[in-house]
């Protein structure tokens, strides 16, 4: 009986270890362009972060880190809702705390810092803030020194 329980627990651990750590796969450049309602390029003016109860993976102890970014739009390559020269608010999130066996989306990445130049593939507008495509709808431009 002891060996049956050990075998069962080992099998369960093997299944959980291989299936529950999955995050959403990054989209290709073509997929980002196709899915985006707006594509904007600009400079991050401000970034603030807060932690709140998770809204996507609603677990008792799950928390998300919410990043609110102000972007000074230099140009727009898709969409007509945003104009160059405008300052818009973008809200992204990352999983902050999850139970170890909890699978699901882990949020946006990477999160830019103030003064970094970015291209943002926007999915929709919620209230006054835009939401980038998950998980890689924010692209930090490489510095050319």
How far is 91 from 46, CA to CA, in rounded Å?
12
User: What are the tens digits of pLDDT across the range 66-105?
Assistant: 999 999 999 999 999 999 999 999 999 998 887 765 666 7
Over residues 32-36, mean pLDDT: 97
Sequence-ordered list of residues with C-beta below 8 angstroms from that of 3, at least 6 positions apart, any chain:
none
Please report, rounded to a whole number, the percentage of residues in the chain having pLDDT higher than 90: 63
Q: How far is CA 56 from CA 53, 62, 96, 98, in A?
A: 9, 9, 12, 11
| CB distance 45 to 89 below 8 Å | no
* Band of pLDDT at residue 15, cut at 50, 70 and 90: low
pLDDT at 119 over 80: yes
Q: Which CATH architecture has domain 24-140?
A: Beta Barrel (2.40)
pLDDT at 13 over 60: no
Domain boundaries, the chain: 24-140
3-state secondary structure of 80: coil
User: What are the tens digits of pLDDT across the range 38-53?
Assistant: 999 999 999 999 999 8
* pTM for this model (two decimals): 0.80
Q: How far apart are the first and last CA of the chain?
A: 67
Residue 14, both tokens: 């093997």
Model pLDDT, residue 20: 45
CB burial of 107-127 (b: ≥16 within 10 Å; e: otherwise) equals bbeebbeeebebbbbbbeeee
Least confident of 49-58, 72-81, 114-123: 49-58
């Amino acid at each position: 009986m002891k060996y049956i329980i050990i075998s069962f627990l080992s099998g369960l651990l093997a299944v959980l270890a291989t299936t529950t750590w999955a995050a959403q796969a990054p989209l290709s450049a073509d997929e980002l362009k196709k899915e985006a309602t707006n594509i904007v390029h600009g400079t991050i003016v401000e970034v603030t972060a807060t932690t709140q109860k998770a809204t996507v993976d609603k677990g008792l102890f799950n928390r998300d880190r919410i990043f609110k970014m102000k972007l000074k739009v230099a140009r727009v390559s898709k969409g007509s809702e945003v104009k160059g020269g405008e300052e818009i608010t973008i809200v992204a999130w990352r999983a902050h705390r999850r139970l170890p066996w909890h699978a699901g989306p882990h949020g946006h990445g990477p999160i830019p810092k103030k003064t970094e130049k970015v291209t943002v593939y926007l999915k929709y507008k919620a209230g006054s803030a835009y939401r980038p495509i998950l998980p890689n709808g924010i692209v930090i431009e490489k510095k050319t020194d």
